Amino acid sequence: MQRARAVTPIVVRRGTTQQFGWPILRAGQRVALDGWTVRALVRASIDATEVLHEFSTAEGNARTENGYVLIESNVDSETWPWETGVYDVHATDPDGNVLHVAEGPIKLRKSVTR
């Protein structure tokens, strides 16, 4: 299996709902991801111990749909006390195998319209 891109910079507009997604492909076709879970953590740096934010199926802000791994920010992003960090996204199949989907820098920006 493969992911769409290894490094994907993300910009979250504070206070808005946004989705970010990556197709999971096998031989150029999207993979059925039924029963998979998603988890992505944001930290200030790769070695930081503190988690700034979690996207996950358990938190209700990450999922799989139509062969895509998706994470979603929402209006709560208005209160996030950080402005920059790094993240990575893992998807886990029903057998417990973990697929590294994406990683990169993440930034919060104010929206002009608010």
Would you say residue 72 lies in a domain? yes
Kindly report whether the global pTM for this prediction surpasses the value 0.95: no
pLDDT in tens, 43-74: 999 999 999 999 999 999 999 999 999 999 99
At 70, which CATH number?
A: 2.60.40.10
The one-character DSSP state at 30 is: E
Would you say residue 15 lies in a domain? yes
Mean pLDDT over 14-30 rounds to: 92
Question: What's the confidence (pLDDT) of residue 26?
Answer: 87
Would you say residue 114 lies in a domain? no
**pLDDT reading at 112 higher than 60:** yes
Q: How many domains does the chain have?
A: 1
Residue 2: band (very low, low, confident or very high) from pLDDT cuts 50, 70, 90: low
Domain ranges, residue 71: 2-108
Would you say residue 71 lies in a domain? yes
Would you say residue 62 lies in a domain? yes
Would you say residue 113 lies in a domain? no
**pLDDT reading at 98 higher than 90:** yes
